[in-house]
């Protein structure tokens, strides 16, 4: 049975700073899965088509991926809300490993899939992505906890909004 909500970490565990996203998803799953029974926590190492499969029939989704704006220090977490396929124009050139997020969501709708009504991208400002096999740099390792806290805050808000649909999930997460 597909759960209503999904949190997806896109990254590559052996790829230095790109390992932050999967680490954050694992930690969020460990901390939150027993109180968030309507939430799946997924790691994604492939292109947008696999991501599409993870989003079908979900109400809401959080996607955690690295981002490079150059405007903040590595490890900072950007929250980028995407409405019903009307996300910010600056997201269009961003790719999720071979396919733009907005194009992928549009494709899902075009082929008749029920796509999430709300998608939030948590973009973790990247640092060094070119050292395969190395753990994330210190500033990014420290950011994992901040990403988990942000995931927890978002889920708390979403689950609190659904008291009629999911009364067992409305308790505070922390």
Cβ within 8 Å of residue 142, ≥6 positions away: 75
Tokens of 62: 């959080």
Q: What is the CATH number of the domain that holds 163?
A: 3.40.50.1450
Q: How far is CA 130 from CA 22, 126, 137, in A?
A: 17, 11, 12
Mean pLDDT computed over 44-52: 75
User: Range with the lowest mean pLDDT among 41-45, 73-77, 91-95?
Assistant: 91-95
* Structural element, H or E, at residue 106: helix 101-110
174, part of any domain: no
Residues 84-93: tens digit of each pLDDT: 544 444 444 4
C-beta pairs of 93-96 under 8 Å, 24+ apart in sequence: 94/67, 95/48, 96/10, 96/47, 96/48, 96/51, 96/63, 96/65
Segment 100-148, tens digit of pLDDT: 777 788 888 889 999 999 999 998 887 655 455 555 556 566 788 899 9
Q: What is the pLDDT of residues 26-38, one digit of tens each?
A: 999 999 988 888 9
Query: Domain span at residue 143?
Result: 5-169
Whether 68 is covered by a domain: the verdict is yes
Q: How many domains does the chain have?
A: 1
Is residue 62 assigned to a domain? yes
């Amino acid at each position: 049975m597909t759960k209503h909500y999904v949190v997806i970490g896109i990254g590559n565990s052996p790829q230095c700073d790109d390992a932050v996203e999967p680490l954050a998803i694992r930690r969020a799953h460990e901390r939150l899965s027993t109180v968030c029974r309507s939430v799946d926590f997924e790691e994604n190492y492939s292109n947008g088509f696999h991501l599409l499969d993870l989003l079908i029939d979900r109400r809401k989704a959080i996607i955690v991926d690295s981002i490079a704006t150059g405007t903040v220090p590595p490890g900072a977490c950007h929250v980028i809300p995407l409405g019903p396929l009307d996300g910010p124009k600056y997201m269009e050139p961003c790719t999720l490993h071979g396919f733009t997020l907005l194009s992928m969501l549009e494709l899902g709708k075009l082929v008749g899939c029920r796509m999430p009504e709300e998608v939030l991208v948590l973009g973790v400002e990247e640092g060094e992505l070119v050292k395969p096999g190395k753990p994330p740099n210190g500033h990014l390792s420290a950011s994992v906890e901040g990403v988990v806290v942000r995931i927890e805050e978002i889920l708390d808000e979403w689950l609190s909004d659904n008291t009629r649909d999911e009364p067992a999930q409305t308790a505070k997460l922390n």
